[in-house]
Structure 1
Amino acid sequence: MAHHHHDHTDVDWDEMGPRLEAQAELFTPLYEHALAWLAKRQTEPGLVVDAGSGPGVVTCLLADTFPGARIVAVDASGPLLDRARTRAERLGVADRFDTLTGELPGVLGDLDYPADLLWAGRSLHHLGDQRAALAAFAERLSIGGTLALQEGSLPSRFLPRDIGFGRPGLQARLDVVEAEWFARMRAELPGSVAETEDWPALLAAAGLRPSGTRTFLLDLPAPTTDRARAHVAATLARTREVLGDRLDADDRATLDRLLDPGDEASVHHRPDVFVLAAQTVFTAVRAR
């Protein structure tokens, strides 16, 4: 399943922080490949901005990828930015690492100068008017600067189609329920505007020149690591919590069994658990 989305007003970010950090750490190989690709498209930026940074895992990877750049993590959550600062200190990049607290996209107006690279990793869909937000992102780029937009990923997969109990195809059914939930979440955002999710076209409408699209994989095959199992268990537990009332009784029972540490058929023990995820990055350049 894809990550779950949250409204900033109803989330305990102190509580969510460790889970978000653990997930991003698990996905580090994917992000490293994406940023290596990006580094060939935007060389030696002076200012790199992570718009919607969360706990700063990707922000610190940006710092590693661009060792000559000043890095700014931007997020509405103070507790998550505290985590980002702690991480930057631990990794030895705090001397060129800053944070900016506030709601996107308006808070970007507080940047000292335009960004040469602005990374928006799965943050745009939290904003009601995505077209207006992209225009605001574009305005904060330097001439020749790049906007890297991570959106439109495929749902992750953790389990075989037939897991030996319940109806086969559980994850496909969860995808449908999550897609419906996501549409409702988008519709309920302040100032929500429906858009065709043609990201290159939306980037062009923001006055940028689309410059590339690439999808990156995280492939952790079975038998997988304890850290990957923990991610699968946490993701399915969040699914059960958020979407459980939208599932039928059989699928709820299947999820409960998959989450029961005392059951040998649970994701805590079964040998066929894996993580396969695909994330797409779209780039565009400010030409004028």
Structure 2
Amino acid sequence: MAHDHGHSHGSHAPDGGPHPGPHSPGHHGHDHADIDWAGMAPLLEAEAEVFSPLYTEALTWLARDVRDPGLIVDAGSGPGVVSCLLADAFPGARVVAVDGAEPLLERARARAARLGAADRFGTLAGELPAVLDELEYPADLLWASRSLHHLGDQRAGLAAFGERLAPGGTLAILEGGLPARFLPRDIGMGRPGLQARLNVLEEERFAEMRASLPGTVAETEDWPELLNAAGLKHTGSRSFLLDLPAPASDPVRAYLAVFLGRLREAQGDRLDAGDRAVLDRLLDPADEASLHRRPDVFLLAAHTVHTAVRPA
């Protein structure tokens, strides 16, 4: 849900709302001056917190190869949930959260202070990737979670990320994965397979978001090849699972209700009347069959991290 939004996994969702699919927002680089980021912040934080077990596992995997980094940059950090997980996973590092939305960076600084990491935590406001030129020294680890796909020219974005790495430094991008699932195929009302139809809407919304970016370039999303083409050496790809079985917790239900509500508002007219009626029941807290109350709500998602190293 994040910054295409679809995440947080952390991330942001200006282009239609968060989504728990593979294109979730991270946070991005292009200008979203019309977005109320202060208003979006609680949703983005809630999404990233729900997905924190997945991020934590991914960072543990990263830490096996990235040893004692001095500077870590979270490019497209949003409200800083993952930035603070990076600070926890790499206790000797300085972490800089980079985002285009200052209200989200305010939340990031407050979170770092609450967690006792303020003395080695900084923020940088500006549009990716140009704002990275303001870093005082190269990064040993640059983490970009669903922020790259908000840049029109992803190939140029990867090259710019690579240029900000120290020799031997690591770029880790979280892009792709599997669409999230949170309901059974047959939910006891309407036509079975609703979630698969919602995934189609999400893919269409994502394609429209990409097409609307300034300077957008169509690209085969072969991330290892793109990383190598950027002058880096692809070192690994791994997918991480978020498996929160039914019955879902209240925070998961609340997150999914907001996600589904935003999708209903932005894309609901592309569904048939039967699916819209089912969505309305799923979103009605007074309905026993709603996301708020039904016992079969879960959250199952997979995100993929690709790593590459700048040659020494």
Query: TM-score, with normalisation over the residues of structure 1?
Result: 0.98
Going by fraction, where is helix more abundant, 1 or 2? 1
Question: In the alignment, residue 223 of structure 2 is paired with which amino acid?
Answer: W
Matched, 1:6 2:14: yes
How far apart, in 2, do the equivalents of 1:247 and 1:223 lie?
27
Matched position secondary structure for 1:34: helix
The reply on whether 1:164 has 2:188 as its aligned counterpart is yes
2:261 is equivalent to residue 237 of structure 1: yes
Question: What CA distance in whole angstroms lies between the structure 2 residues aligned with 1:233 and 1:140?
Answer: 39
Shift of residue 163, structure 1, vs aligned partner? 0.4
Q: Which residue of 2 aligns with 1:100?
A: 124
Comparing 241-250 with 150-159, which one deviates more in the overlay? Answer: 241-250
Q: SS where residue 162 of structure 1 aligns?
A: coil
Deviations 1:111-159 (A, max 9, x none): 0000000000011111100000000000000000000000012111000
Which residue of the partner structure matches residue 150 of structure 1?
174
1:10, distance to aligned residue in structure 2 (A) = 2.9
Q: Distance in 1 between matches of 2:166 and 2:119?
A: 23
Query: In structure 2, what is the equivalent of residue 181 of structure 1?
Result: 205
Does 1:228 pair with 2:252? yes
State the distance in 2 between where 1:252 and 1:14 align. Answer: 30
Please give the secondary structure, in 1, of the residue aligned with 2:290: coil
In the other structure, the counterpart of 1:37 is 61
Task: After TM superposition, give the deviation of residue 41 of structure 1 in Å.
Answer: 1.4
Unaligned 5+ segments in structure 2 are 7-12, 16-31
Question: What is the aligned partner in structure 2 of residue 134 from structure 1?
Answer: 158
In 1, the alpha carbon distance for the partners of 2:74 and 2:66 equals 15
Say whether residues 1:120 and 2:128 are aligned partners. Answer: no
- Cα distance in 1 between the residues matched to 2:245 and 2:79: 27
Are residue 206 (structure 1) and residue 230 (structure 2) matched?
yes
1:153-189 deviations in whole A, cap 9, x for unaligned? 2111000001011111011001111111111110110
**CA distances 1:200-234 after superposition (whole Å, capped 9, x unpaired):** 10000100000001100110001121111111111
Residue 100 of structure 1 and its aligned partner are, at CA, apart by 0.2
Q: How far apart, in 2, do the equivalents of 1:240 and 1:9 lie?
A: 24
* 1:70 aligns to 2:97 (yes or no): no
1:286 and 2:310 correspond: yes
Q: Does 1:88 align with 2:112?
A: yes
The one-letter code of the counterpart of 1:263 is D
1:190 and 2:190 matched: no
Alpha-carbon distance, 1:252 to partner: 1.1
Counterpart-to-counterpart distance in 2, 1:127 and 1:241: 25
| Higher mean C-alpha displacement, 238-247 vs 212-221 | 238-247
Where 2:176 maps in the other structure, the secondary structure is: coil
Q: Deviations over 1:25-67 (max 9, x none)?
A: 1111111100000001111000000000000000000000111
* CA–CA distance in structure 2, aligned partners of residues 179 and 28 of structure 1: 24
SS of the equivalent of 2:305 reads strand
What is the CA distance between 1:9 and its match in structure 2? 3.1
CA RMSD of aligned residues (A): 1.1
User: Which residue is 1:274 aligned to?
Assistant: 298
Q: Which of 230, 242, 245 is equivalent to 1:218?
A: 242
The runs of 4+ residues in structure 1 deviating greater than 3 Å are none
Query: C-alpha distance in 2, partners of 1:233/1:60?
Result: 26
Q: Secondary structure at the match of 1:17?
A: helix
Give the AA of the match of 2:168.
G
Q: Secondary structure at the match of 1:271?
A: coil
Q: Which runs of 5+ in 1 are unaligned?
A: none
- Superposition deviation, residue 279 in structure 1: 0.6
In the other structure, the counterpart of 2:288 is 264
Supply the distance in 2 between the matched residues of 1:23 and 1:42 (Cα, whole angstroms). Answer: 26
* Matched residues, number: 288
